[in-house]
Structure 1
Amino acid sequence: MTFLDYARRGKNDSWRYVLGLVLGPILALILGALLLIPATFNNLLPEDIESQLTQVKDPFIFFPVTGVIFGLFLAGYSLAIFLLQKKSPLDILGRWTWKSFVLGAALWLAYLGICTLVDFALSPKGFRISPTPPSLDLILVIVGALAVQTFAEEFVFRGYLTQGLLLGLKNPVAASLACGLAFGALHIPNGAPQAASAVVFGIGLSLIAIRTGSLAFGSGLHLVNNAYGAIIVVSEQDVFRGSPGFLYQNTPHLTWWDMGLGLGGLALMAFVIWKNGPADRPEAA
């Protein structure tokens, strides 16, 4: 089955998709309120919770709360999609295999390692080894939280939104471009480089999802991408700055170079998969 076959499942009127995009966050907020109210009355939240969520001050707060927030959005969208369109989460995931997930993670980890070596060759003074590397407990907390965060983004953007755009636009490239722009808009608060990177990142992952018929490859890639920046090499120019990592990188003069290097690798990977991926034929509508 192709990604389009999975997209055709359930009820797919345009108004259902529009309403689903609105209802998902509303349900997430309702679920969040159910958790927030008792947590507030029992003084379970830190006084500076707002600042804790905008930067990594305490990783044992920032990452778990981030995971909970994105988990709520995942639950909200899953419920909205089921109520409005009678779709199950499996319809959004497509032809998921753990082999594809691991492959995406392994290939991207290798490429990020190469990018770090290139940066080190260009600016060795911009790197330093952490005197207090993260503990195993913290690594597990960060990876677990980022697994929820990245999967939620893949589910909503590369899954639900891309499928809807694919049905409406009937063109995989156009659908991927539109989804990439939406993903980039979400990252505007993180700065211009992050937003521009997210656009190309979103386009590439949408093309990969459509071609492979699954969110697995992109989910593995996305998780490694974020975990690498939060644990292995933490950049002072990244959204995860302040996170305890093994290496710290402070090379502001390489910001746009790094973006081009990373996106070039993703674009090449998406191109290769698009040209050589499985050539399944869609089922009859």
Structure 2
Amino acid sequence: MSQPSAPWSRPTPPQQGEQPRRRDPGAQDPGVRNPGAHGLARPSDGGHVPGPVSAPGPISAGTTRTFFYHRLALADRNHRWWMPLVEGVIGVGIYLVLSILFGIAIAFTLPESLSEDVLAMDQLDPAVFLLLFGSVALMLPSVLLARLVLGPRPLGLVFSVAGRIRWTWLLTCLGAAAAVYVVVNAVGIGLDMVTGGGVPQLELAPGFGWLVVLWLVVVPLQCTAEELVFRGYLAQTIGRWLKHPAWAILLPVPLFVLGHTYDVWGQISVGIMAVTMGVVTWRTGGLEAGIALHTVNNMVVTAMGMVGLADMNETSGSPSDVVFEVILNGVYLAIVFWLVRRRPALAVTR
């Protein structure tokens, strides 16, 4: 394998008939297909952690580059550095319009369930449940419509390096996340019973039937929408300007945490989960693993609230909640990394 030229040396000119080669600052070495499974410090330049870099220009014909998920916007020859900023403005505008229309529809059809203080409303009221989760789900069409305007192309690059949702991989990750949550929660309930907590008493929430319908339809859309924004749009926006994946993983975390009204322990737990979803997105080359974890987490929490095993309106946490979150996310992260190694056909770069 040829060695890269030193920054002060003149690159060797191409031989007659040979096409000149360009190397993208964020591109993986073409001979390396999958990133390392044990950390983030394995960029293509041998581990050097760069500072901000300017986005390279359009890709010329005959040039081949390999991109990780957070750098996929550079795969579009027509991309420009300013495009994600305009895309964000368009997305916010679309979201505001959809939110106003959605709020008006809820207010006219279900006015008796709503009060002035949204945070004080009972989240297990079907109308409130629809308002809270549905308003977040509106980010899904907002992001997709904004990306249709400016790109990058194809649209599916926001989902994965394959340019689409990889449904088999998504279902695999859903199964893995569900197994982790069932086992860890079962152990937690068992320990609580052994230490004198007693047998949990089930109590169905009023409007349980409507809640089940919303639980099956709206909650997965809400989780997918958040992943599209925080691990999709924001990560790929940062990836246009900053090469190392750590920037794309960590910089959206504070924004994600601030969107949750918990105390400090709850915020730390949310932050741990956000980092985990960012890491699996980078490692697997798509949003599927993060969507799976997010969806299973929210569906488990809301299901427990619907049967009286959790308080949906609780905003305080404890250090034990953080430990619980570390175990859950650590086990899921290990399983996803193992599954990627076991599935060589799964593309993690483009």
| Kept after mapping to 2: 8 A contact 1:53/1:62 | no
* Aligned-partner Cα distance in 1 for 2:349–2:337: 21
Residue equivalent to 1:21 = 88
Distance 1:256 1:137 in 2: 32
Aligned pairs for 1:224-235 (under 5 A) are 224-231=296-303, 233=304
2:147 paired with 1:81: yes
In 2, Cα distance between equivalents of 1:168 and 1:274: 27
Which residue of 1 is the match for residue 127 of structure 2?
61
Aligned to 2:330: 264
* Mapped contact 1:63–1:145 kept (Cα < 8 A): no
What's the secondary structure of 2:307's corresponding residue?
coil
| Aligned pairs for 1:112-261 within 5 A | 112-124=181-193, 125=197, 128-132=200-204, 135=208, 137-187=210-260, 189-231=261-303, 233=304, 243-245=305-307, 247-248=309-310, 254-261=320-327
Larger Rg: 2
The 8 Å contact of residues 31 and 72 in structure 1, kept in 2 or not, is answered as yes
More helix per residue: 1
**Which range moves more in the overlay, 73-82 or 266-275?**
266-275
**Contact 1:166-1:172 within 8 A present in 2 as well:** yes
Query: Aligned residues, how many?
Result: 271
Q: Deviations over 1:95-134 (max 9, x none)?
A: 3222211111111111112222332243221761313378
Alignment partner for residue 93 of structure 1, among 159, 166, 186?
159
Q: Distance in 1 between matches of 2:340 and 2:240?
A: 19
1:268 counterpart letter in structure 2: A
Secondary structure at the aligned position of 2:138 is classed as: helix
Q: CA deviation at 1:2?
A: 4.8
What SS does the aligned partner of 1:262 have? Answer: helix
Deviation at 1:155, TM superposition (A): 0.9
How far apart, CA to CA, are the structure 2 residues paired with 1:127 and 1:17? 52
Contact 2:70/2:248 (<8 A) preserved: no
Q: Are residues 1:71 and 2:137 paired?
A: yes
Alpha-carbon contact 2:70-2:245 (below 8 Å) kept: no
TM superposition shift of 1:281: 7.8
For 1:70 and 1:87, locate their aligned partners in 2 and report how far apart those are by CA, in whole Å: 25
Please state how far the C-alpha of 1:206 moved relative to its aligned partner: 1.8
Q: Unpaired segments of 5 or more residues in structure 1?
A: 234-242
Structure 2 alignment gaps of length 5 or more: 1-66
TM-score (norm 2): 0.66
Q: In percent, how many aligned pairs have the same letter?
A: 21
Q: Does the C-alpha gap of structure 1 residues 127 and 194 become closer, same or farther in structure 2, counting only changes over 3 Å?
A: farther
Partner AA of 1:254 in structure 2: S
- Per-residue deviation, 1:164: 1.8
Residue 105 of structure 1 corresponds to: 174
Any conservation in 2 of the 1:154–1:219 contact (CA below 8 Å)?
yes
Q: Which stretch of structure 1 is more off in the superposition, 244-253 or 163-172?
A: 244-253
SS in 2 for 1:149: helix
Q: Provide TM-score, normalisation by structure 1.
A: 0.79
| One-letter amino acid of the structure 1 residue matched with residue 258 of structure 2 | A
Give 1:267 deviation, angstroms: 4.3
Preserved contact between residue 133 and residue 222 of structure 2 (Cα < 8 Å) = yes
Query: What code does the residue aligned with 1:56 have?
Result: D
